[in-house]
């Protein structure tokens, strides 16, 4: 069991659907992250929230919209996705934002398939 919880574990959606991925951590961490991972590739950073403020957007298409309602929750809203967006979406957290030597802890991920 991980201390970063992601829901749902699997999601299949059409290109016109709107859905959301959810992430929750109760470790008191102040930085949260969204990654996208394709098969046989390392995780690719999408967004970073530090102290509930968006600090990094790695030039992610606007069909992905992040939201951080509070320090424990992170959402990723999905709309009009493309088949190439099918991937494993990972949420991670770390104790502090900004410059840090601390590792990130990953949730189990959401396996997303776009039809």
Partner 1 sequence: QKEVEQNSGPLSVPEGAIASLNCTYSDRGSQSFFWYRQYSGKSPELIMSIYSNGDKEDGRFTAQLNKASQYVSLLIRDSQPSDSATYLCAVPGGATNKLIFGTGTLLAVQP
Residues that bind partner 1 (CB under 8 A): 2, 31, 41-43, 45, 48, 50, 55-56, 88, 90, 94, 96-109, 111
Q: What residues does 106 pair with on adjacent strands?
A: 92
Phi, psi of 100 (to 5 degrees): -155, 150
Q: What is the dihedral sign for C-alpha 2, 108, 41, 89?
A: negative
Identify whether the C-beta of residue 27 lies closer than 8 Å to the C-beta of residue 105.
Answer: yes
Strand spans (E) along 2-42: 4-7, 10-13, 18-25, 31-37
């Amino acid at each position: 069991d991980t201390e970063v919880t992601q829901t749902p574990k699997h999601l299949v959606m059409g290109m016109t659907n709107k859905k959301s991925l959810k992430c929750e951590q109760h470790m008191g961490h102040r930085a949260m992250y969204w990654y996208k991972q394709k098969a046989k590739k390392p995780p690719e950073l999408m967004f970073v929230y530090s102290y509930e403020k968006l600090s990094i957007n790695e030039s992610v298409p606007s069909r992905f919209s992040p939201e951080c309602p509070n320090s424990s929750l992170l959402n990723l809203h999905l709309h009009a996705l493309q088949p190439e967006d099918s991937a494993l979406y990972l949420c991670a957290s770390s104790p502090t934002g900004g410059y840090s030597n601390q590792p990130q802890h990953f949730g189990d991920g959401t396996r997303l398939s776009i039809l």
